[in-house]
Amino acid sequence: MDNEKIINEVMGGGLRVLNRIADSPLVERLGLEERAQQLVYEGAKRASEAAAKAARRLAPRGSSDRPRRSMKFDLRLSEEQQLMRDTLRRFADDVMQPAAREADDRSGPPNDFLETFSELGAIAMSVPEAMGGAAEQVSAVSQMLIAEDLARGDMGLAYAALSPLSFVNALVHWGDEQQRARLLPALLEGDTMVASVAVVEPQPLFDPGTLRTTAKKRGSDYVLRGEKSMVASADRAKWFLVAAEVPKAGPRFFLVEGDAAGVEVTEQPAMGLRSARLGRLKLDDVRVAGESMLGGQGALKAEGKLAYYDAVNRGRVAWGAMAVGTSQALLDYAIPYCNDRIAFGEPISHRQAVAFMIADIGIELESMRMLVYRAAGRIDAGMKCQREAYLARTLCSAKAMQIGTNGVQLLGGAGFIKDHPVEIWYRQLRSIAVMDGNLLL
Amino acid sequence: MIYLEIPKNLKLVVNQAHQVAKHVFRPISRKYDRAEHDYPKELDLLAALMDGLNAGGGRQGAGIDALQQGRGADQGVRNGANMSTCLGMTELCWGDVGLALSIPRQGLGNAAITAVADANQKRRFEGVWAAMAITEPGAGSDSANIRTTARLDGDEWVLDGEKIYVTAGSRADSVVVWATLDRNLGRAAIKSFVVPRGTPGMEVVRLDKKMGIRASDTASITLTDCRIPKENLLGTADIDTKKGFSGVMQTFDNTRPVVAAMGVGVARAALEHARELLAREGIEVRYQGSLFAKRAVEAELIRMEAEWEAGRLLMLKAAWMADNGIPNSTEASMSKAKAARVANEITLRCVELCGGLGYSEEELLEKWARDSKIIDIFEGTQQIQLLIIARRLLGKRSSELR
């Protein structure tokens, strides 16, 4: 920042002077335009040299303990990410898309779905080697790509698969030794231990920063009270990561066992995302040990609050990635449909009214993708991303639904009936604006 | 590695362009908005300034004339001339779009020369300031339908026709004119020609009075038995009906992200200034909580910022692809379509949000709202961009999706 300021001063001062020269009627009257131009040339050259020199001098020397990243604008995936992407895309095409309709009908994933998903290694690739996983280093971008690719298969099934992955991510980022040792092995073994994240609450205008669910200290324990909404695999989960407001400290996460006294789960079928077995989680004075706070008792300090808001950002990027994946599926479906559908003697895609809707879907899909990727990239670069994640959420909330409704419109009556998947996507894309939590990268 | 921030090595370009915008453009912005058709004498100094910056090594090949598709990146990712030009243009247009369009030697014709000219021509036309003449009274968006003709007579091309909406047409040293070698052969017969100012037969017949970008001159030009050397045809004189338009159209893949940058720049100016004015009224922008629990004005500012970021990032993506030799026609059009429509919406909304203050000439908000409209029109209207994008996505030829 100082660096820029100095350069700005070096440049700005010079330019202000040059502009005054340019503006001077005297220069013109005295026929000095040419001289003035030479002066400006030399002045600008000097200013530029000085600024370039200042930039070089002020550039921080790379600290030797960390390899410096190139820090160039870059849209390429790493080799590992590309490999993961190829695998997940095949999974989305071969397993998820064919299963989507039935899973939506019966409000739950196929029996072996979560097992098959865990065999792909996505969970292992999300846990660092030092914690028993297979990842060289964890990456928010990698997690985001997983969400995008799975949601391209089916958003409801993706939600079912990403919910335990989010639980794992939370343990990796903010869990303490004891919590990791206790929970990670079972999640990694493919034991099919179902875990889920519960942040969203059922009230209108929900804000993850002002939770109604509370966690009050009683002795060395906490007592949780409140309700959570749209929780994936709610009736199967052995563990929940519950967000609750700790009086005077702010929101924190708690690890709560599914069979703890006072935990009540009811089905909560919704407009979409049905295949994730949505449930409402009621916490009626659920007593958990003090060590159940994610990160341990140390999390009561300010870092715990930062971790919580970090999770909120990571949740927004995750849902943004879901919007991108499902919207991509929709575009990929609408294009051949509009090319094949004949009306008035030619494909409907030959009409601008139709073609422009396709173009707009393409533009807004790419817009969403850029904002989501950027926020994730900032997390990996260790930069703040509250603004970027919030803007990504704002854009995706609006554009995802616009794409959903236009998708149905493009198919007309065919889009409205269940012979085609577009009506599922329409119902699912409504969730993007609703879900502000329950997942995290 | 996904990383979508401005690279450190281009921050200097951004800073320098910003200083020019802030200290040179902004102070004279209103003056030349009022005095349309007055030649901004500051511009000659600006040309010297740009050359000085280049000589000082600060600008690293930024500028319209440096735009070209990269050669495919074996040695890692490149953040090159396309990106730095877009970033520089963003800053300049944050200052003033009309003045940015009037910077000597940064005309769209220069981009055409860079994209299509052979090595010999690049040498011959180095350092010229070239405007671009495509549109005619009877052919705007359907540029394949132009009537200006070129016929070879000995060692000279003879041009005849009428061109309108030529940005910098009266100020540039040369005009790149689109003309057809044979009207019956359609697009493939359209070639571009460099016509130096002062060539007998080329005449500037009028300067348009406009709603916005009034600091930039928009000229009508007639060509009557206008003779130029044979070597002033850019590219090849062969008419390849298979290749069609691609030669002349290539230019647009490089220039459309730059026009997107104009939208990004002017929209940021409006957004920043509206936020400043609204902050005095106690309006804060906080990136937290439900969007709907906020005051309408705060929510609107956030929505606009999200849309603006979309235009900006699409611009960077298209430029990045060009720098790295990745075909980017679709992305270039997407960036132009999104950034331009968003810029128009944002600048208009900012006037609205600031009420009488925004609408009055005391502030530049109303000017930016007038300037922004042209960005969604020139270099391919919104509708033309949508056509291009739709054809690409749907796999349609221009004869099918018309």
Q: Exposed e or buried b for every residue in A251-265, given b needs 16+ CB within 10 A?
A: bbbbbbebeeeebeb
DSSP per-residue string spanning B133-191 = E--BTTBSS-GGG---EEEEETTEEEEEEEEEEEETTTTSSEEEEEEES-GGGGGGGEE
Tell me which architecture the domain covering A303-434 has in CATH. Answer: Up-down Bundle (1.20)
Which of B4, B49, B338 minimises the CB distance to A367?
A: B338
| Amino acid sitting at position B97 | V
* Predicted confidence (pLDDT) per residue in B263-315, tens digit: 999 999 999 999 999 999 999 999 999 999 999 999 999 999 999 999 999 99
- Where does the pLDDT of residue A67 fall: very low under 50, low under 70, confident under 90, or very high at 90 and above? very low
The residue among A99, A117, A116 whose CA lies nearest residue A108 is: A99
Contact between chains at B386 and A355 (C-beta distance less than 8 A): yes
pLDDT of residue A31: 63
Residues 6+ apart with CB under 8 A from A408: A415, A416, A422, A423, A426
DSSP result, A357-392: HHHHHHHHHHHHHHHHHHHHHHHHTT---HHHHHHH
Helices (H), B24-136: 26-34, 42-55, 81-95, 97-100, 108-116, 119-124
Residues ≥6 apart with Cβ < 8 Å to B53: A44, A45, A47, A48, B16, B59
- Report the residue of chain A nearest B324, measured CA to CA: A74
Average pLDDT over residues A387-416: 98
B113 and B91 Cβ atoms separated by less than 8 Å: no
CB pair distance less than 8 Å for B287 and A387: yes
Q: What is the pLDDT of residue A33?
A: 65
pLDDT tens, position by position, A353-371: 999 999 999 999 999 999 9
3-state secondary structure B270-293: HHHHHHHHHHCCCCCCCCCCCHHH
Nearest to A422 by CA among A89, A94, A92, A100: A100
Domains plus CATH for chain B? Answer: 12-107 (1.10.540), 110-234 (2.40.110.10), 246-394 (1.20.140.10)
Q: Which residue in A223, A229, A222, A211 sits closest to A281, CA to CA?
A: A229
Q: In this predicted model, which residue has the larger pLDDT, A15 or A168?
A: A168
- With CA atoms as reference, report the closest residue to A398 among B205, B29, B189, B310: B310
3-state secondary structure of B79: coil
Contact A363 B41 (CB under 8 A): no
- List residues bridging with A351 in a β-sheet: none
Report pLDDT for B104: 86
Residue B194's SS3 state is strand
What integer is the mean pLDDT of A169-175?
97
In this predicted structure, the answer to whether residue A238 has a pLDDT above a threshold of 50 is yes
Q: In a 3-state reduction of DSSP, which class is residue A133?
A: coil
What pLDDT score was predicted for residue A52? 63
* Domain boundaries along the sequence of chain A: 2-58, 79-191, 214-301, 303-434
Query: What whole-number percentage of chain A has pLDDT above 90?
Result: 76
Taking an 8 Å cut-off on Cβ atoms, the answer to whether A55 and B12 are in contact is yes
Answer yes or no: do A374 and B4 touch at CB < 8 A. yes
Q: Is the confidence at residue A393, as pLDDT, over 50?
A: yes
pLDDT greater at residue A64 or residue B249: B249
- Between CA A58 and CA B342 the distance in angstroms is 37
In angstroms, the CA A101 to CA B122 distance is 60
Residues of A in contact with B104 (CB under 8 A): none
Q: Residue B81: list chain A partners with CB under 8 A.
A: none
Which chain A residues are Cβ-neighbours of B391 within 8 angstroms? 355
Dihedral pair phi/psi, residue B195, rounded to 5°: -115, 110
Answer whether A241's CB lies under 8 Å from A311's CB: no
Q: Which of A55, A70, A373 sits opposite B2 (nearest CB)?
A: A373
> What is the per-residue pLDDT for A32?
61
Quote the ipTM score. Answer: 0.94
pLDDT of amino acid B49: 73
Whether A381 sits inside 8 A of B3 (CB atoms) is yes
DSSP state at residue B241: T
Query: Which residue's entry shows tokens 């599922």?
Result: A424
- How far is the CA of A100 from the CAs of A156, A331, A365, A401, in angstroms? 8, 17, 22, 19
The answer to which of A87-101, A190-204, A308-322, B47-61 has the lowest mean pLDDT is B47-61
pLDDT for res A398: 98
Regions in chain B scoring below 50 on pLDDT: 59, 73
Half-sphere exposure of B61 (CA within 13 A, CB side): 11
B155 touches chain A (CB under 8 A): no
List Cβ neighbours of B116 (8 Å cut-off, separation of 6 or more). Answer: B192, B234, B235, B247, B248, B250, B251
Q: What is the pLDDT of chain A when averaged over all its residues?
A: 90
Cβ-Cβ contacts under 8 Å, B317 against chain A: 75, 366, 370
- CATH fold of the domain at A79-191: Butyryl-Coa Dehydrogenase, subunit A; domain 1 (1.10.540)
Name which of A55-69, A326-340, B118-132, B264-278 the model is least confident about.
A55-69
Nearest to A371 among B47, B306, B389 (CB): B306
pLDDT digits (tens, 9 = 90+) for A112-147: 898 888 888 888 889 999 998 888 889 999 999 999
Q: How far is A439 from chain B (nearest CA, A)?
A: 17
Q: Tell how far CA B99 is from the center of its chain.
A: 12
Residues B64 and B107: beta-carbon distance below 8 Å: yes
Q: Which residues contact A327 (CB under 8 A, 6 or more apart)?
A: A361, A364, A365, A368, A399, A400, A403, A404, A425, A429
Residues of B in contact with A38 (CB under 8 A): 48
- Report the predicted TM-score, pTM, of the whole model to 2 decimal places: 0.92
Domain A214-301 superfamily per CATH: Butyryl-CoA Dehydrogenase, subunit A, domain 2 (2.40.110.10)
Whether B42 is catalytic: no
DSSP state of B252: H
User: Greater confidence, A22 or B341?
Assistant: B341
B 2-31 near A (Cβ less than 8 A): 2-9, 11-12, 15-16, 18-20, 22-24, 27-28
